[in-house]
Structure 1
Amino acid sequence: MLTDSYLHVSAVVQCLVVASVIGVVVGILVYRSPIGSAAATALSSVILTVPSFALLGVLIPIVGLGVAPSVIALVLYSLLPIIRNTIIGLSSVDPAVTDAARGIGMNRLRILGRIELPLAWPSILSGIRVSAQMAMGILAIAAYAKGPGLGNLIFSGLARVGSPTAVPQALTGTVLIVILALILDGILLAIGKLTTPKGIR
């Protein structure tokens, strides 16, 4: 149980890191283009509408069972909130602030790194938190593809329906996922407080 809990959190965190890098980069590339922003949001929305079992069923013949389909599915499902919130956060930066930065000689990359991204960070982090909660639940379904985590405990219990330990085992896995999701959200919230400038909070 402890091993499954560790693997569950570890897989979610690693997939979140990958999804955050991809999502923020995509958001940076498209936020100035209404067409690009709409296309990126629409594409990631379409991915999110695909049922988990269906996506895993498509991935299994391509990458096999185990960690690979689980990681790919989690990263794909985590993209929408991060991309959308990155676009919203960057688009919400007051043009007067960036104009002032240009006026003192800052180039485009410095403005992005020192002004726009810090101001957009609370919005980006909100997207990451939403993705974290979704990934926690979706990873349980990845046990269907022999993925890591507490989904194995749930599926194992459901496979023995009728025995005295079946329901308690499935419930234990479910409750642990909820608890771990709340703990991870608390950690992300604390990270947000530590990394957000006081003037933006």
Structure 2
Amino acid sequence: MWQFFLDRQPQFWALAYGHALLVLLAVVIGTVIGVAVAVVVTRQPRLAPVANAISSIGLTLPSFALVGLLLPLTGIGPISALICVTFYAIFPVMRNAVVGLQGVDATLVESARGMGMGQVAVLRKVQLPLAWPVILAGIRVSTQMSIGVAAIAAYVLGPGFGAWIFTGLTQIGGVNAEAYVLIGTLAAVVIALVFDLVLLALGRVTIPKGIRA
């Protein structure tokens, strides 16, 4: 297996870059959308049941089914893979953002408004900083989920180690079948650990000690 890795190093690092980049883009886009939806939901509480229903349905939709639905619309390639991974990245962030924003003490919000802050300033300087630890926890869950979905997105020729995993599964019994699957899977696990360590470090830097868990 070690020789298999040495013989394919350029391809390995290209797949690692593609997998990590796909997850990074999906999580960033998913975070922006998820937080934006959460802000709207917290300001319009009647929308909360709708958001929860959409989130529940979205998370139970099999990724292979979503890939199949995207094929007639966006075809085969990285765009379909990015849409698929982003779709699943949104919901953990959105749920945590709603919980975090709803958990901000109302008296702090009222005090900020009493100091003359507008809605945008209150959101930026009070609500989001206080809700950030909960939002970051959602981002961590979203990232781990996205790494797995990114592997499945190789079904539509998306970048990442899913290509090796699928190759190995289609060649079961072949000489390098197990190596493709094992190395592809282990590499995805390593990427997940690296992303999680980065997010933990981000939390240490961005979350004040007073509200850090």
Which range, TM-score by smaller chain?
over 0.9
Cα shift at 1:32: 3.2
Q: How many residue pairs are counted as aligned between the two chains?
A: 201
Deviations 1:128-160 (A, max 9, x none): 110000000011111111111000011111111
Task: Describe the SS at the equivalent of 2:55.
Answer: helix
Aligned equivalents of 2:170 and 2:71: distance in 1?
21
Are 1:97 and 2:133 an aligned pair?
Answer: no
Amino acid at match of 1:131: S
Aligned equivalents of 1:53 and 1:28: distance in 2?
30
User: Which of the numbers 78, 83, 108 marks the counterpart of 1:67?
Assistant: 78
TM-score (norm 1): 0.96
Aligned equivalents of 2:62 and 2:137: distance in 1?
24
> Within 5 Å, which residues of 2 pair with 1:11-160?
11-160=22-171
Cα contact 1:41–1:80 (8 A) shared by 2:
no
Match of 1:167 in 2: 178
Amino acid at match of 2:134: S
Aligned equivalents of 2:55 and 2:87: distance in 1?
8
TM-score (norm 2): 0.91
Task: Report percent identity of matched pairs.
Answer: 45
Cα shift at 1:44: 2.2
Aligned equivalents of 2:92 and 2:44: distance in 1?
18
Amino acid at match of 2:203: G
Aligned equivalents of 1:64 and 1:107: distance in 2?
44
Q: CA RMSD, aligned part only?
A: 1.0
Amino acid at match of 1:74: V
